[in-house]
Amino acid sequence: GAVVSQHPSWVICKSGTSVKIECRSLDFQATTMFWYRQFPKQSLMLMATSNEGSKATYEQGVEKDKFLINHASLTLSTLTVTSAHPEDSSFYICSASQGSGFRNEQFFGPGTRLTVL
């Protein structure tokens, strides 16, 4: 159980275009989903936290107008990178939490590698 999927697994796009990444919890309802970014040989950096049906909370330094997050249902959250530039090339990972339980554990998706040309 507790499987999280992401789509696409990798994407290459031209500079200036927008890219949408989907994160789905397949066998549980995720009250909270998280979006992380990881540059090569660096750790995961939290970008934003989203709760179903409400606006996402962005971390300091993350532009909310550039990284649009929608969490319309308990099983789906989307991250749209608008007007992507080469510096946005990174590994984007989502995680989902049921919001309850002893560990209140986050289950991670397999990640999406974005390359902006």
Partner 1 sequence: GQNIDQPTEMTATEGAIVQINCTYQTSGFNGLFWYQQHAGEAPTFLSYNVLDGLEEKGRFSSFLSRSKGYSYLLLKELQMKDSASYLCAVRVNDYKLSFGAGTTVTVRA
Kindly list the residues in this chain that would bind partner 1 in the complex (CB under 8 A): 32, 34, 42-46, 49, 91, 93, 97, 99, 103-111, 113
Q: How many residues are present in the chain?
A: 117
Please report how close the Cβ of residue 93 comes to partner 1 at its closest, in angstroms: 5
CB nearer partner 1, residue 9 or residue 17: 9
In terms of DSSP bridges, do strands 10-13 and 112-116 run parallel, antiparallel, or are they unpaired? parallel
Q: What are phi and psi of 58, to 5 degrees?
A: -95, 145
Asked if residues 57 and 84 have their Cβ atoms less than 8 Å apart, the reply is: no
CB nearer partner 1, residue 82 or residue 106: 106
Please report how close the Cβ of residue 4 comes to partner 1 at its closest, in angstroms: 8
Least Cα distance to 35 among 87, 90, 84, 83 occurs for 90
CB nearer partner 1, residue 51 or residue 82: 51
